[in-house]
């Protein structure tokens, strides 16, 4: 565990505070920070070497002992974040929790109960984006091409870009994963095979199509493996890692008989069990990408998360940019998206006037994207649109957010498909009904006011009041509304249609 207490004091009043918690495959990291004159100030950091990836078996089940070790770390972190507004906290799960899928639901529910905040499972590409954002927050000097490398416990992220990322890659190799794969016996050289060399060659094989990533770029490394190697090579300092130095260190580590026998200056004892595996990956990256020098960033994913949170608070939500890009690339009818969103939000305001902002945003985005599949197929546009949303690399979104969006788009009309709920994915009937009603009102792509229509809860079901003269004016819509009543009835949910 490491802790960095508050050292700076404010002289101009209170500042908005943000917390980022990274549930990594090797270690959990917490950062509490605030912004002063647009500069991020780290107030508190904490780390726990949980090695979550060690607890994931071949069937993607999480070992109870490892899960409890992780929850114990979260109990220590919880007091730091529990007094913050929920919108100022983001907890993300990376490679191991991605791999665990729904098998980790019990762990995630326990973790949320401890922290008082939901856990977002993010894609490898979103992880890479956040890492790059964090590294760039500490980058100095003129704008130039950069290649960022981050070796985690379960995956390695590489990003090439300038002020913004241009290419993002997430590769399924990390220090904990490679430790289990190549050093599970604890031996480095067993006389027949040198496991360090095998691990380094495996890393190079994973990178064969990415050899260009570092071309003409300033290479920067982030996170635990890179920092631990830099400290070993530079007398405890986070100075650049040179090619000749890492070559020599790799040769030295490869000659140790066992992982436990590794003795190196400035090597954290907690890092020793996975040091050989992490070094093998890093050495493979140096060799395959022909890197001669790697600078070390003090920032990584946690700082990227904090900058993202601050951006959301100031109106710069990356998710909104992603939606705008999808609208552009998907050739979506902007006017239809606008009218459906406006009406859906009107219905939702009637039904739930005190709804969370996150729910209103989800409904807005679903309406924005409800016709995204039309560019591919008219008959199957809902299914294709949902597939695109669920499987796209949507910057700023968690996997659960994408799944909830995809569900709404898939079920905007027709039969409502039954789905299996799991942690982070609990379909919201209120949102779905409002979207479906808005799609009915504007099925002909025409602006139409819903003055006089009112949607309300009616026990466990719903009631839609529509003036008889309004229904008489639009008979096709009246027919569709009665079909909607039957559709919800088939789900054992009552939707009553009446005239005031």
For tokens 């101009």, the residue is 12
Provide the pLDDT for residue 264.
97
Low-confidence ranges of the chain (pLDDT < 70): 1-14, 101, 315
- Beta-strand ranges (E) seen in 49-173 are 89-93, 119-121, 146-151, 156-161, 165-171
According to DSSP, the β-strands at 293-296 and 461-465 are unpaired
In sequence order, the 6+-apart residues with CB closer than 8 A to the CB of 251 are none
* pTM confidence score: 0.88
**pLDDT per residue over 405-463, tens digit each?**
999 999 999 999 989 889 989 999 999 999 999 999 999 999 999 989 999 999 899 99
| 221 beta partners | 149, 296
In sequence order, the 6+-apart residues with CB closer than 8 A to the CB of 112 are 118, 119
Spacing of C-alpha 307 from chain mean position: 14
Provide the pLDDT for residue 14.
63
What does the DSSP 8-state code read for residue 187? Answer: B
* Nearest-angstrom CA–CA distance, 472 and 394: 43
């Amino acid at each position: 565990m490491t802790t960095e207490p508050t050292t700076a004091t404010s002289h101009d009043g209170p500042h908005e505070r943000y917390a980022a918690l990274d549930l990594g495959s090797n270690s959990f990291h917490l950062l509490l920070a605030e912004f002063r004159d647009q500069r991020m100030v780290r107030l508190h950091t904490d780390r726990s070497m949980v090695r979550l990836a060690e607890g994931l078996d071949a069937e993607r089940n999480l070992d109870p002992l490892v899960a409890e070790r992780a929850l114990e770390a979260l109990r220590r972190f919880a007091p730091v974040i529990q007094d913050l507004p929920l919108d100022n906290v983001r907890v993300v799960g990376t490679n191991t929790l991605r791999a665990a899928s729904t098998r980790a639901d019990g762990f995630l529910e326990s973790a949320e109960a401890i922290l008082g905040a939901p856990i977002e499972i993010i894609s490898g590409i979103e992880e890479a984006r956040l890492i790059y954002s964090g590294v760039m927050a500490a980058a100095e000097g003129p704008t130039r091409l950069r290649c960022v490398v981050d070796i985690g416990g379960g995956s390695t992220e590489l990003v090439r870009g300038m002020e913004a990322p241009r290419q993002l890659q997430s590769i399924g190799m990390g220090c904990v994963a490679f430790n289990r794969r190549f050093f599970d016996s604890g031996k480095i050289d067993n006389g027949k095979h040198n496991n360090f060399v095998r691990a380094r060659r495996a890393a190079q094989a994973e990178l064969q199509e990415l050899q260009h990533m570092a071309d003409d770029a300033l290479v920067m490394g982030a996170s635990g493996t890179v920092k631990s190697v830099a400290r070993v090579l530079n007398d405890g300092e986070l100075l650049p890692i040179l090619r000749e130095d890492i070559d020599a260190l790799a040769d030295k580590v490869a000659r140790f008989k066992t992982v436990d026998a590794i003795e190196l200056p400035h090597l954290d004892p907690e890092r020793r069990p996975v040091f050989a595996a992490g070094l093998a990956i890093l050495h493979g990256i140096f060799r395959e990408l022909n890197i001669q020098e790697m600078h070390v960033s003090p920032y990584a994913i946690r700082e990227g998360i904090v900058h993202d949170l601050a951006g959301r608070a100031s109106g710069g939500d990356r998710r909104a940019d992603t939606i705008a890009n999808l609208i552009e690339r998907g050739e979506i009818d902007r006017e239809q998206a606008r009218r459906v969103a406006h009406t859906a939000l009107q219905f939702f305001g009637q039904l739930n006037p005190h709804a969370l902002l996150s729910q209103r945003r989800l409904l807005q985005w679903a309406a924005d994207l409800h016709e995204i599949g039309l560019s591919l197929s008219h008959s199957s546009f809902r299914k294709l649109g949902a597939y695109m949303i669920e499987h796209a690399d949507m910057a700023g979104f968690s996997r659960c957010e994408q799944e909830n969006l995809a569900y709404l788009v898939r079920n905007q009309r027709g039969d409502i498909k039954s789905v299996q709920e799991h942690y982070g994915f609990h379909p919201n009937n209120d949102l779905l009904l409002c979207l479906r009603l808005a799609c009915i009102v504007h099925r002909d792509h025409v602006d139409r006011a819903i003055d006089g229509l009112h949607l309300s809860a009616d026990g466990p079901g719903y009631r839609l009041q529509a003036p008889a003269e309004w229904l008489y004016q639009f008979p096709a819509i009246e027919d569709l509304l009665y079909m909607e009543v039957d559709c919800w009835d088939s789900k054992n949910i009552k939707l009553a249609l009446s005239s005031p």
